[in-house]
Amino acid sequence: MATRHSEFFAGIRNILPILAGTVPFGMIYGVSALAAGIPAITAQMMSCIVFAGSSQFVIVQLVAVGTPPIVIVFTAFIINIRHALYSASVAPYVKRLDARWKWLLAYLLTDEAYIVTITHFRTMRSLDDKEHSNRHWYFLGAGIALWTTWQASTALGIFLGTQIPPGWSLDFASTLTFIALVIPSIKDRATVGAALVAGIVAVLAFALPFKLNIAVATIVGIAIGLGLEQFLPRNKQQSGKNMIKETTQATMQEEMNSGEVL
C-alpha cells in the first residue's frame, strides 16, 4: 500500500514539469499588479487568498481601467466557475475525508493540481482501492508545491516591479500578459469563435456603463463557443474550462485595446 509519504512526494514530483511554466506568469502578475496601482502587500495577499492565476490577471486588468468592484467580482466568478466542474470530478475520490481535509483540498484546487491529481486518481482500480487509501496526500503534495511556487514567483515579480524606475511605463504590461495567455489557448474553431465574438462584443458594447461590456462579452462568447462545440464534431475534446477561460481572456484583451484607442 502506498504510504502518506510516498503519495505526497509523488504529487510533488509529477507536478514539477508544470511549475517551470508557472514561475514566469507569477512574476508577470507581480509586476502587472504594481503597474495597475495595487499595493505590494495587497498583490501578495491576493496570491495567498485568491490563488487563481487567471482571476488574478483579470482583476489586475480591471483595476487598471477603473472597473467598479461589483463587475470585478462578477467577472472573477465567471472565470472560476469551472472549479465547480473540477470539484464534481474529484469528489468521489475524497468523499470519505473529513471537512477539514475537504476545505484544504478545495483551496488547493487549481487547473494544474487538478490535471495531475485526477490523472493519478483514475489509475486506481476502484474508488475503494486499498492500495491508494492515502491518495489525498498526493493531491496535497501537488497543491502545496504549486502554492509555494506561485507565492514565491509573485513575491519575485513584486520585488522586480519595485526596482523598475518610475519613468518606465508599465501600462502595457497587463495587455501583453493577456496576449500571451490568449494565443496558446486558441486551438480549434470553437475557441477561435469564442475569442472573436467576445472581442467584437466587448468593442461594440464599450459604451455600456460600469464596464458591463466585459460581462456581456464574456457570457456571449462562452455561449457561442459552447454552441460551436455541439455542432462541430472535431471540437468535442475542447473542455468547458478552456472555453470559459479563453473567452474571458479575449474579452479583457479587447477591453484594454479599446480603452487605449478611445
Predicted confidence at residue 261, as pLDDT, reads 37
Q: Which of 108, 135, 163 is the last residue of a domain?
A: 163
Predicted confidence at residue 139, as pLDDT, reads 96
Q: Which of 137, 163, 189 is the last residue of a domain?
A: 163
Question: Does 102 share its domain with 187?
Answer: no
pTM above 0.85, yes or no: no
Q: What range does the domain containing 94 cover?
A: 4-68+81-163
Question: Does 134 share its domain with 236?
Answer: no
Question: Does 157 share its domain with 237?
Answer: no
Q: What is the total count of domains within the chain?
A: 2
Question: Does 102 share its domain with 194?
Answer: no
Question: Does 63 share its domain with 153?
Answer: yes
- The verdict on residue 75 lying in a domain is no
Taking the chain (262 residues) in runs of 10, the rounded mean pLDDT of each run is 89 91 88 91 96 90 89 88 90 92 96 91 74 86 97 94 65 57 73 89 86 80 86 56 55 51 41
Q: Which of 136, 163, 190 is the last residue of a domain?
A: 163
164-171 long-range contacts, Cβ below 8 Å, gap at least 24?
Answer: 164/31, 170/31, 170/32, 170/34, 170/35, 171/35, 171/64
Question: Does 55 share its domain with 126?
Answer: yes
Predicted confidence at residue 237, as pLDDT, reads 45
Question: Does 204 share its domain with 159?
Answer: no
Predicted confidence at residue 15, as pLDDT, reads 93
Question: Does 141 share its domain with 53?
Answer: yes
